[in-house]
Amino acid sequence: MRTPNTAPTQGELERQNQFMLKIAALNDKKEKRPRFFINTFGCQMNAHDSEKINGMLRKMGYLPCEEEKDADFIIYNTCCVRENAENKVYGNLGYLKHAKKENPDMKIALCGCMMQQPTVIETIRKKYKHVDIVFGTFNLYKLAELIWTNIESNSPVFDIWDKHEEIVEDLPTVRKFKYKAGVNIMFGCNNFCTYCIVPYVRGRERSRRPEDIIKEIRALADDGVKEVMLLGQNVNSYGRGLDEKITFAQLLRQVNEIDGIERIRFMTSHPKDLSDELIAAMAECDKVCKHIHLPFQAGSNDVLKRMNRRYTKEHYLELVDKIKAAIPDIAITTDIIVGFPGETPQDVEETIDVCKKVRFNGAFTFIYSKRTGTPAASMPDQIEEKEAKTGFNKLLDVVNPIVHELNLQKVGNVCKVLVDGISSDPGFVTGRTEDNTLVHFKACEELIGDIVDVKITDCKTFYLIGELQ
Ligand code: 5AD
Ligand code: SF4
Residues 229, 284: one domain? yes
- For 321-371, write each residue's pLDDT tens digit: 999 999 999 999 999 999 999 999 999 999 999 999 999 999 999 999 999
* pLDDT tens digits, one per residue of 363-388: 999 999 999 999 999 999 999 999 99
The whole domain housing 137 covers 12-159
CB distance 233 to ligand 2 below 6 Å: yes
- Contact by Cβ (8 Å): 96, 104: no
Query: Residues 119-133: what's their mean pLDDT?
Result: 97
Residue range 300-323: mean pLDDT, rounded: 98
Phi, psi of 260 (to 5 degrees): 100, -35
Ranking 22-31, 57-66, 166-175, 393-402 by mean pLDDT, the lowest is 166-175
d(CA 301, CA 321): 18
Same domain, residue pair 401 and 441: no
Domain assignment present for 3: no
Residues 312 and 394 in one domain: yes
> Which residue's alpha carbon is nearest to atom 16 within ligand 1?
81
Kindly state whether residue 175 falls inside one of the protein's structural domains. no
Indicate whether 243 and 317 sit together in one domain.
yes
Q: Which of 46, 189, 272 to mutate to test the pocket of ligand 2 (most atoms within 8 A of CB)?
A: 189
> Does one domain contain both 389 and 247?
yes
Ligand 1 pocket residue status of 235, Cβ below 6 Å: no
Instruction: State if residue 189 touches ligand 2 by the CB under 6 angstroms criterion.
Output: yes
Question: Do 246 and 388 fall within a single domain?
Answer: yes
Whether the predicted pLDDT of 127 surpasses 80: yes
Q: Is 336 in the pocket of ligand 2 (CB under 6 A)?
A: no
- Does residue 308 lie within any of the structural domains? yes
pLDDT at 7: 44
Distance (Å) of CA 378 to CA 200, 370, 373: 16, 9, 8
Burial, 11: exposed, middle or buried (Cβ in 10 Å; 0-12, 13-18, 19+)? exposed
Residue closest by Cα to atom 1 of ligand 2: 196
* Ligand 2 lined by 403 (C-beta under 6 Å): no
Residues 173, 143 contacting (CB under 8 angstroms):
no
Considering the domain architecture, whether residues 253 and 383 belong to the same structural domain is answered as: yes
The answer on 104 and 228 residing in a single domain is no
The domain tally of the chain equals: 3
CATH number of the domain where residue 423 is located? 2.40.50.140
Q: Give the C-alpha distances (Å, rounded to integers) separating 351 from 81, 336, 397, 398, 445.
A: 21, 8, 13, 10, 41
Name the nearest CA neighbour of 83 among 393, 399, 377. Answer: 377
Identify the band that residue 6 occupies on the pLDDT scale cut at 50, 70 and 90. Answer: very low
Question: Cα(232) to centroid of ligand 1, in Å?
Answer: 15
Is residue 311 lining ligand 1, measured as CB closer than 6 Å?
no
